[in-house]
């Protein structure tokens, strides 16, 4: 029995921590990659040395760079759509309304990028490719980047909310397993009370930060009114709040890992 309970605690502590890192990394990667294709557009337009390439090679190279950049943007849109689709909200809710609006926005972005891609597949000249590269870059600067920022905030907030909920469940399961060990006299009563209380505080603080981020996203007008009342304060963004929440969650999982290591030593 002692080994079984130890393995439960160890798995409960370590696996969610791995998932947390993977999911947080995925979100961060999606955010950073949004600007990567812009550099490719600039490269396609400015950095080709015509003296080193034949006209045919010059055209093929330009088309490939812009095509690859468009493919990246379309992939980003697909990933954002998949993330939005992973959330289930009640039908009559602000969350559902925003999700529908964001999915519609992504459809519009996708349509424009596919139009640019289709034009590249037609019989185009170097000047045509330059023009498509410029239009694509301008569209990204003027429409796409600003249009996807609120979608990224929404996804980040609700993914972090999901992680916070999972951490809360994990805390309850580990606490129950510790009580079983106490009852079986493998560890002293309240031996891990301080650590579990500390982990619970980290999780509670994380949930508070996430709830504040969600409130800013779901009720932007209310938060604009609050900001106008106190113009001297610099309120954190939803993304900054979620990043702070992730730090708290990682701290909580670190405590869980330390507890599992201590249990292993105690029951030997």
This prediction has a pTM of: 0.80
Q: Considering only residues 51 and 176, tell me which one the structure prediction assigns the higher pLDDT.
A: 176
Q: How far apart are CA 235 and CA 244, in angstroms?
A: 13
Predicted confidence at residue 266, as pLDDT, reads 81
Assign 221 a pLDDT band (cuts: 50, 70, 90): confident
Give the H/E segment covering residue 23.
helix 2-33
102-149: pLDDT as tens digits:
999 999 999 999 999 999 988 888 889 889 988 998 999 999 999 999
Over the Cα atoms of the chain, what is R_g?
25
In three-state secondary structure terms, 172 is helix
150-193: pLDDT as tens digits:
999 999 999 999 999 999 999 999 999 999 889 988 889 999 99
């Amino acid at each position: 029995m002692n080994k079984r309970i130890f393995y439960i605690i160890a798995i409960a502590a370590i696996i969610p921590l791995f998932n947390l890192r993977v999911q947080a990394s995925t979100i961060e990667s999606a955010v950073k990659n949004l600007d990567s294709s812009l550099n490719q557009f600039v490269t396609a337009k400015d950095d080709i040395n015509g003296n080193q390439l034949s006209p045919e090679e010059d055209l093929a190279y330009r088309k490939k760079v812009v095509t690859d950049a468009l493919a990246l943007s379309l992939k980003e849109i697909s990933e954002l759509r998949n993330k939005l689709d992973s959330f289930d909200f009640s039908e009559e809710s602000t969350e559902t309304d925003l999700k529908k609006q964001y999915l519609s926005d992504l459809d519009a972005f996708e349509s424009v990028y596919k139009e640019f891609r289709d034009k590249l597949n037609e019989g185009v000249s170097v000047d045509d490719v330059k023009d498509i590269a410029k239009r694509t870059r301008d569209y990204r600067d003027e429409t796409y980047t600003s249009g996807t920022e609120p979608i990224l905030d929404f996804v980040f907030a609700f993914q972090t909310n999901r992680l916070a909920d999972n951490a809360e469940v994990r805390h309850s399961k580990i606490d129950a397993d510790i009580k079983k060990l106490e009852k079986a006299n493998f560890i002293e009563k309240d031996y891990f009370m301080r650590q579990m209380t500390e982990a619970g505080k980290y999780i509670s603080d994380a949930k508070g930060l996430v709830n504040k981020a969600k409130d800013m996203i779901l009720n932007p007008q209310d938060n604009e009114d609050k900001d106008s009342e106190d113009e001297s304060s610099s309120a954190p963004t939803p993304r900054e709040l979620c990043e702070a929440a992730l730090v708290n969650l990682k701290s909580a999982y670190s405590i869980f890992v330390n507890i599992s290591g201590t249990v292993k030593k105690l029951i030997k």
